[in-house]
Amino acid sequence: MSNIQLDVKNLSVSFSTQAGKVHAVRDVSFSLHKGETLAIVGESGSGKTVTCRTLMRLLSKNASIDAGEILLEGTDILKVSERNMRHIRGNDIAMVFQDPMTSLDPTMKIGRQIEEVITLHRKVKRKEARKRMLELLQLVGIEDPRRRSRQYPHEFSGGQRQRIVISIVLACNPKVLIADEPTTALDVTMQAQIIDLLKSLQKKINTSIIFITHDLGVVANVADRVAVMYAGKIIEIGRADEIFYDPRHPYTWGLLNSMPTLDTSAPSLYTIPGAPPNLLKPPTGDAFAPRNEYALAVDELYEPPMFQISDTHYAATWLLDARAPKVNPPAVLNKRREEFIKRSGLYAES
């Protein structure tokens, strides 16, 4: 048990809006081991970001955490006072945001923005903080740190800014790093560099990473384990190889199938038909049933529980029930798999 860094149990989060209560995260449970990378994938609005913001307790005012606990090394951070939570943020749990272009204060020299987080959590003198700041800049690959630390964000490129943000979030050696689509706003070569950087830093400071992304190619390269979210729930979770080689949920099939690759030969790209359900009124049965070509009658009535496939692999679909008809995943997935393996080579460490 001591290997578990973060344990999320039955977490439910909702937002009160004028239209009513939106159930953004519904009964989500997962655990994060020390030093591992867990990727959370899913389409927009599936609850990935809300889940992670809850871990930081950085939700907007109209949000409420309806149930669940988040255990950071045994302490439930949902019960911690706001003052103590500030000690956890940036120190124990840190977060990288999607857009590096707007993540830094445009009016403050980047050196000071890094020093700020150090002096906030460590009782050090300005001089020591400065020394640590220069080390960090070096570490994330900013050349000539002494001169560069006196510059403003607009004097850096997008990739460099994301490096600076990474140096800010890793300044206090956090136990958990949440990366919310850290490469989405960058071009492909820059994505590969940033991912390599995160991987090498992860080894150095032995932090656990939760990586939110749309890009399954990135997932194949960085993740030890993968959680697939749909309509506010985790519908499949397992080791990366299990998700890629042996996916069990029809939604995961669709997701893998709809990823375009460089050598896609089909005349048009595959899409999952329909749209995600309205979370103002979550459906009674399986939320994915209306879009699922393999849907069973039971899907309309009862929500599928998590079926265990192996020690590490779980999926929530009635297809795994002993009484369900045997359904094979679409044949095209086999070909896809080959493509993913090839594609993930793009991000391999050199």
Smallest separation, CB 110 to other proteins (Å):
11
Listing DSSP states for 58-94 in one string gives ---TTEEEEEEEEEETTEETTSS-HHHHHHHBTTTEE
Smallest separation, CB 146 to other proteins (Å):
18
Instruction: Tell me: does residue 133 bind other proteins (CB under 8 A).
Output: no
Q: Looking at 206-269, list the stretches that DSSP marks H as alpha helix, in order from N- to C-terminal side.
A: 216-222, 240-245, 250-257
Sign of the alpha-carbon dihedral angle for 106, 112, 114, 120: negative
Map tokens 């700020």 to a residue: 116
Q: Are 111 and 133 in contact (CB under 8 A)?
A: yes
Instruction: Tell me: does residue 168 bind other proteins (CB under 8 A).
Output: yes
Smallest separation, CB 176 to other proteins (Å):
12
Instruction: Tell me: does residue 117 bind other proteins (CB under 8 A).
Output: yes
Helix axes 188-205, 158-169, angle to 10 degrees: 20
Smallest separation, CB 90 to other proteins (Å):
4
Select the residue interacting with other proteins from 13, 25, 40, 104 (CB under 8 A).
Answer: 104
Amino acid at 327: V
Sheet holding 176-180: strands in order across?
93-96, 176-180, 208-213, 37-41, 225-230, 233-239, 314-315, 307-308
Select the residue interacting with other proteins from 43, 66, 97, 214 (CB under 8 A).
Answer: 97
Which window, 116-124, 205-213, 241-249, 328-336, contacts other proteins (CB under 8 A)?
A: 116-124
Which window, 68-76, 148-156, 221-229, 282-290, contacts other proteins (CB under 8 A)?
A: 148-156
Select the residue interacting with other proteins from 10, 64, 105, 308 (CB under 8 A).
Answer: 105
Q: Which of 213, 207, 141, 200 is nearest to 349 (CA)?
A: 200
Select the residue interacting with other proteins from 27, 116, 196, 241 (CB under 8 A).
Answer: 116
First to last CA, the chain: 35
Q: Write the interaction track for other proteins spanning residues 51-90; mark x where CB under 8 A is met and - where it is not.
A: -----x-x---------------------------xxxxx
Which window, 11-19, 117-125, 132-140, 239-247, contacts other proteins (CB under 8 A)?
A: 117-125
Query: Contact positions toward other proteins, by CB under 8 A?
Result: 56, 58, 86-91, 94-95, 97, 99, 102-108, 116-117, 120-121, 152, 154-155, 165, 168-169
